[in-house]
Amino acid sequence: MEARFLFPHHYKLIGWIIAIPSLVLGLFIMLGNFELDWLTVKLPFHYYFTDTFTFGSSKVNTDEEVSVLNLTDEVASVGTIIGLLFVAFSRVKIEDEYVSKIRLESLQWAIYLNFGLLILATIFIHGSAFFNVIVYNMFTPLLFFIIRFHYILFIKPSFEASKQLKA
């Protein structure tokens, strides 16, 4: 059975090259409010979908307003998502029915685990801290999938082989 909708095998390396720096950048942003100055842009109009609010009278001319945005968090998010997608959904060297089965089971397991943790977080975490949960929740399904898929496919067989050698 041919696996459809998978990236070529070499995309896995490209994915790691994109995902690791993006994840590190994202952690710096979340933990230290880090911004790269060269990713700051001035828009020649007022951007309404930002977290800063404009106070003043309704007579302010919006044509003269500008918005200053820093795109560091967007670059980190998009880079992390693209990198993790490449890692998660790149072919392995020998893509057979066993790998397809492990891929499907790992994806199902990752979704169950992710939404189980999200339900717990919804019950126990409140206020602005819940926003962090939602941000992390964008990436955890892919991370859980990658961890389980690679564990079952590559790491677990070596543990089983070493147990059989000792017995």
Number of domain units in the chain? 2
Which residue(s) pair with 71 in the sheet?
none
Measured CA to CA in angstroms, residue 143 lies from 15, 74, 99 at distances of: 13, 19, 18
Kindly state whether residues 70 and 44 are assigned to the same domain.
yes
Sign of CA dihedral 25, 30, 34, 35: positive
Structure tokens belonging to residue 38: 């060269």
Q: How many Å apart are CA 101 and CA 149, to the nearest integer?
A: 10
Q: Looking at the predicted structure, is the pLDDT value of residue 140 above 80?
A: yes
pTM given for the model: 0.81
Least confident of 45-49, 68-72, 135-139: 45-49
Please tell me whether residues 61 and 112 are part of one structural domain: no
Q: Are residues 156 and 110 in the same domain?
A: yes
